[in-house]
Structure 1
Amino acid sequence: MPITDEEVALAAITSLAAFDDNQKRAKMHIDEILNDGNPFVDIHKLFALYNTLYFRSLLLPSVEVSWSKRLTLCAGICELVKDNQGKYRRVRLKLSEPLLKYRPREDTINTLLHEAIHAYFFITTTVAHSRGDDGTGHGSGFLLLADAINSHGSYLITVYHTFHDEVDSYRTHIWQCNGPCRTRPPYFGLVKRSMNRAPGKSDSWWQKHQEECGGAYTKIAAPELTKEQIKALSAKERAGRQKNKIDGWVKKNLVKVTVESAKRTRSLSPGRSAVAHKIAVVACPICDATVAEDKINEHLDTPHSP
């Protein structure tokens, strides 16, 4: 019969009853780190100490710990991976740099311990933990060990650590559906993602959406290009991008000038006549000269000094 999460959780908890010399030293170093006032933490050093204190020194060297710049949907992940012989005997633990770098240090530590518990179960039970009692790996064994570590070290290890505001701030690629679902809560036809992957057949909910809504998705928002991405654009792409910026700028300023012109007209005294100007004017974005709106493109094509 395969070993269970509960059994290995109890083995780890039992080791907390009476520390050996290595655990005592690890506990001392951890306390020094947690009380040094440094807002940052060396996750590799701390992971090695927690390995000794809470996880029976079983995690290293089989667990690889790293920061991830691409992980933006949750604060951390832990996954079982194959070794050089094709066996699932190695574990990869990643912490989200985008989500954790501006949060209190305690969130990084709690996330590190959360993922270390998963790593411990992977090392001791292998693929049995990947399913767990509830299909997420947060079954009774996880809760048992997390509660013991929380009580011992006054930590706050929780089942889920998705920081919703931070996650949403990175979901800058947005698509809007034109079908009936755009009026239905909670999503109102919006799909937000941190990467440029349009909704499609690869999404588990796509077939249901096609049957119940049938609408098409159109991209309505995207993040600004980085300097590196702009440099990689072709000359044609850069020209089109510049034209879009100028057209957007003209439309924005045309509205502003029209509103200001209307205000000036209304402010005229009753005895004076107001002459309606049919040609709106805008300021050149390069030299700031006032130009008729229908002449702005011609003006931009001519050499002039700012």
Structure 2
Amino acid sequence: MRTMRRLSLLSALSTAVLAAGCGGPGSDRPASAGSAVEGFPVTTSNCGVQTTYERPPRRAVSLNQHATEVMLALGLEKSMVGTGYLDDAILPEYQAAYGGIKVLSKEYPSAEVLLAAEPDFVYGGFSTTFDEKEGRSRAALAKAGVNTRLNIEECPSGPVTMAAMDEEIRDVAKIFGVPDRAEAEVKKLHGTLDSVEGKLTGVQPVKLFVYDSGDKTAFTAGGKGIGNEMIKRAGGVNLFADVDKAFGDVSFEQVAERAPEVVVIYDYGDQPVEDKKRFLLANPALKDVPAIKNKRFAVLPLSSTVLGVRVPSAVESLARQIHPDRFQ
């Protein structure tokens, strides 16, 4: 039985983590501490943190759905010792691989539970993964000998596009020494995007408003997240692309003024889609909005609207909902 269960034993944990970090993905025998691994070392710069990997991680933990599914899409389940925090069911094609990975917690694990898994790498989808108050900051984990990565949608240098999706997948693959897998995945994902683009040639863009949540104000998709790019690719116009961040609050009066033709509902959490529809249909500020008068809604799961491998299929799903005639 492992004895390293408490945060007070970080120095011992660091030694174990470094010892576990040898060998490539799927190898049965770890390399000795002094042996070289082909293609390594590699250095990455991620959200202000530069990390040099002497060898691929062997005890990785993924937190948040889109981070987990990037790992699984790259076939890295044998390099994973834990995962946590899903918003939806894992995609069917990854379910078997996911079933062999220990779930550390339903949402984020405590720092103690996380470190008890003896990870050498933690990959988070949202900045909340690395909560300083919870003892999971990137700096705290680094002191414990644990390398980290944060999905780059959380620290964009400009609008998040499909190029960012490619970069995220390629960087994770680089860290694990499997760049060929990234190229195969990127090619597949762009095949879906190219197919949608072909079907939408010459289409008249539809004016869309994204409703994530909110009753006093509307929490919506702004212009700096992948959601804005998805809407464009699906043959729509995001009416709040001028909101200078990935998500932001706007008034329902602003929504009415911009007169969306379709409302896109992000589905997640404890509030069912039908409840969101009923709220919007009954909102007096929206009574003259074309989308409300015509009851035109589209629905996407939240896990498909953040930077990860679900994005192209979500573009196709949205395009089918707002331009059904192009997919008959």
Structure with higher Rg: it is 1
Q: Name the structure with the higher helix share.
A: 1
